[in-house]
């Protein structure tokens, strides 16, 4: 099993190109199932989760070709199966997003109940409630959810009980081929929802209000092929900004989208970072300063993203002062705390949703273990500032979400090696 060996204490400095957004590429790949014509997706990141999704599309019978420029062409002219098997869904929760497109186009879908990161129970009740509102019959049997509709789905008003990114995406994809108008009320507003809405519209769908709390979808008879470029990854962007800030360094990130990172940039400014932004770049300078402790409370977009909580907590561990980190989106998303404490951090956990971080001047290397995707990068941040060589085990979690992590970190001057 691969591990990362990081020698801490190097101040990061350099220029990086940000990859396409994983959380946008995954629903967009699912949306290719909505048409019998070829769809080409550019800027999809080269990540395990994306490969898993491509494998799932292949297993359903779609033809997938990846060209020399890493563009993914999916042709779902005819499918051979409408069943997403446990083996693929268990490794990645986003596989559940094939349900909306399959149900919309073929009137039936069978998808294993999802797995993915072990962060809380993460049910799919809101997805299922929405499909039922659109006229589907749902059955859960032997770990599989089966959805059926006689004829076509019918547009409806769907009021979401809570804001869910995946739920909003699944229902948008189901509604584009439904008869009549659907309104998703209390929809998620994340930039990835906006990206999916744009992509669906490039296929001929009539989606409006994406990026607001009410998404309206006027169903159409059929969708056509298109070519679409995935947005830049805001989580990868924020993660590298935090990592560089923690080391007191400097970075210029290119091919990114600063407008999707408002809450994160505001917190980094409070931490003492000097930030400059342009249309598609962000520059951060810390001039060797130690970051200041900053309180964080995660929230749905445009609040501070839960996917950057762990990394920010790691920076706070060596910051000047004490901070409070509150996690409001997922239960059980503090598994990184015990591991960071192995490096000498002083953190108190209050229940499962609040951590008080007392910044210390130095961390010291120790063997640690990655527990979930974003938490694993928090260990990288901690290792980059710790004195000595830290070995991070189970980095398959990192490979699910961060493209060529060691190359990117080395480009910034970090001492990082992948070892097995």
Give the 3-state secondary structure of residue 344.
Answer: coil
> Which member of 233, 307, 327, 372 binds ligand UD1 (CB under 6 A)?
307
Residue nearest to ligand UD1 (CB): 166
Candidate segments 160-168, 217-225, 252-260, 318-326, binder of ligand UD1 by CB under 6 A: 160-168
Q: For 32-58, give the secondary structure using H, E and C.
A: HHHCCCCEEEECCCCCHHHHHHHHHHH
CB atoms within 10 A of CB 80: 9
- Residue 167 or 359: which CB sits closer to ligand UD1? 167
Q: How many residues form the binding site for ligand UD1 (CB under 6 A)?
A: 21
Shortest reach from residue 288's CB to ligand UD1, in Å:
33
The CA distance from 138 to 146, in Å, is: 6
Residue 167 engages ligand UD1 in binding (rule: CB under 6 A): yes
Torsion over CA: 121, 122, 125, 131 (sign): negative
Residue nearer to ligand UD1 on the CB measure, 71 or 122 = 122
Q: Which stretch binds ligand UD1 (CB under 6 A): 33-41, 75-83, 125-133, 255-263?
A: 125-133
Nearest distance from C-beta of residue 333 to ligand UD1, angstroms: 9
> Which residues are CB-contacts of 314 (< 8 A; sequence separation ≥ 6)?
242, 246, 336, 340, 345, 378, 379, 381, 382
How far apart CA 305 and CA 296 sit, in angstroms, is 10
Please identify which residue in 16, 74, 75, 93 interacts with ligand UD1, judged by CB under 6 A. 93
The one among 4, 94, 265, 273 contacting ligand UD1 by CB under 6 A: 94
Decide: is 123 part of the binding site for ligand UD1 (CB under 6 A).
Answer: yes
Confirm or reject binding of residue 26 to ligand UD1 (CB under 6 A). Answer: yes
Q: Is residue 330 a contact residue for ligand UD1 (CB under 6 A)?
A: yes
Tell me the HSE value of 213 on the side-chain side, using a 13 A CA sphere.
10
What's the half-sphere exposure (Cβ side, CA atoms, 13 Å) at 291? 37
Among the listed residues 164, 285, 316, 323, the single contact to ligand UD1 using CB under 6 A: 164
Q: How far is the CB of 355 from ligand UD1 (least distance, A)?
A: 17
**Cβ at position 162, least distance to ligand UD1 in Å:** 5
CB of 188 to ligand UD1, least distance (A): 6
The Cα 62–Cα 79 span in angstroms is 6
Cis, peptide link before residue 402, omega less than 30° from 0: no
The distance of closest approach from Cβ of residue 390 to ligand UD1 in the complex, given in angstroms and rounded to an integer, is 25
Contacting residue, 58, 120, 278, 367, with ligand UD1 by CB under 6 A: 120
Question: How distant, in Å, are the alpha carbons of 23, 120, 185, 331 from that of 240?
Answer: 17, 26, 34, 25
Residue with smaller CB distance to ligand UD1, 218 or 332:
332
Query: Mapping DSSP to helix (H, G, I), strand (E, B) and coil, where does residue 401 land?
Result: coil
| Nearest to ligand UD1 of 92, 340 (CB atom) | 92
122 binds ligand UD1 (CB under 6 A): yes
Give the pairing type, strands 144-148 and 137-141. Answer: antiparallel
Among 329, 335, 363, 392, binds ligand UD1 (CB under 6 A): 329
Q: Which of 30, 59, 117, 273 is catalytic?
A: 117
83-84 and 39-42 beta bridge pairing: unpaired
Cα Rg of the chain, angstroms: 21
User: Is 117 part of the annotated catalytic residue set?
Assistant: yes
List residues near ligand UD1 by CB under 6 A. Answer: 23, 26, 93-94, 120, 122-127, 162, 164-167, 192, 306-307, 329-330
User: Catalytic amino acids?
Assistant: 117
């Amino acid at each position: 099993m691969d591990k990362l060996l990081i020698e801490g204490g190097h101040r990061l400095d350099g220029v990086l190109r940000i990859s396409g957004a994983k959380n946008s590429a995954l629903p967009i790949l699912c949306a290719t199932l909505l048409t019998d014509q070829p769809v080409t997706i550019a800027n999809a990141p080269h990540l395990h989760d994306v490969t898993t999704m491509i494998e799932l599309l292949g297993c359903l019978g779609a033809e997938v070709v990846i060209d020399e420029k890493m563009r993914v062409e999916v042709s779902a002219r005819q499918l051979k199966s409408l069943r997403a098997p446990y083996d693929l869904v268990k490794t990645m929760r986003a596989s559940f997003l094939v349900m909306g497109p399959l149900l919309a186009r073929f009137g039936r879908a069978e998808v294993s109940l999802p797995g993915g990161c072990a962060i809380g129970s993460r049910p799919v009740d809101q997805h299922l409630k929405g499909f039922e509102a659109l006229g589907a019959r749902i059955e859960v049997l032997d770990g599989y959810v089966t959805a059926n509709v006689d004829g076509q789905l019918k547009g409806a008003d769907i009021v979401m009980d809570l804001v869910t990114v995946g739920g909003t995406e699944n229902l948008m994809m189901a509604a584009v081929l439904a008869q009549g108008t659907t309104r998703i009320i209390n929809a998620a507003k994340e930039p990835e929802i906006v990206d999916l809405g744009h992509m669906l519209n490039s296929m001929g769908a009539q989606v409006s209000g994406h990026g607001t709390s009410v998404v309206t979808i006027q169903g159409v008879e059929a969708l056509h092929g298109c070519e679409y470029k995935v947005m830049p990854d805001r989580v990868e962007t924020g993660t590298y900004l935090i990592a560089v800030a923690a080391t007191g360094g400097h970075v210029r990130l290119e091919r990114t989208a600063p407008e999707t990172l408002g809450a994160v940039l505001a917190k980094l400014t409070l931490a003492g970072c000097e930030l400059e932004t342009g249309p598609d770049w962000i520059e951060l300078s810390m001039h060797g300063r130690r970051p200041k402790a900053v309180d964080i409370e995660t929230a749905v977009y445009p609040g501070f993203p839960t996917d950057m909580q762990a990394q920010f907590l790691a920076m706070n561990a060596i910051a000047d002062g004490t901070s409070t980190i509150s996690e409001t989106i997922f239960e059980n998303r503090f598994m990184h705390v015990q591991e960071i404490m192995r490096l000498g951090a002083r953190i108190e956990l209050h229940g499962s949703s609040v951590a008080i971080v007392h910044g210390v001047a130095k961390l010291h290397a120790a063997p640690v273990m990655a527990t979930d995707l974003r938490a694993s990068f928090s260990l990288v941040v901690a290792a980059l500032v710790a004195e000595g060589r830290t070995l991070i085990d189970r980095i398959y979690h990192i490979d699910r979400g961060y493209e060529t992590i060691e190359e990117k970190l080395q480009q910034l001057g970090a001492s990082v090696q992948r070892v097995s």
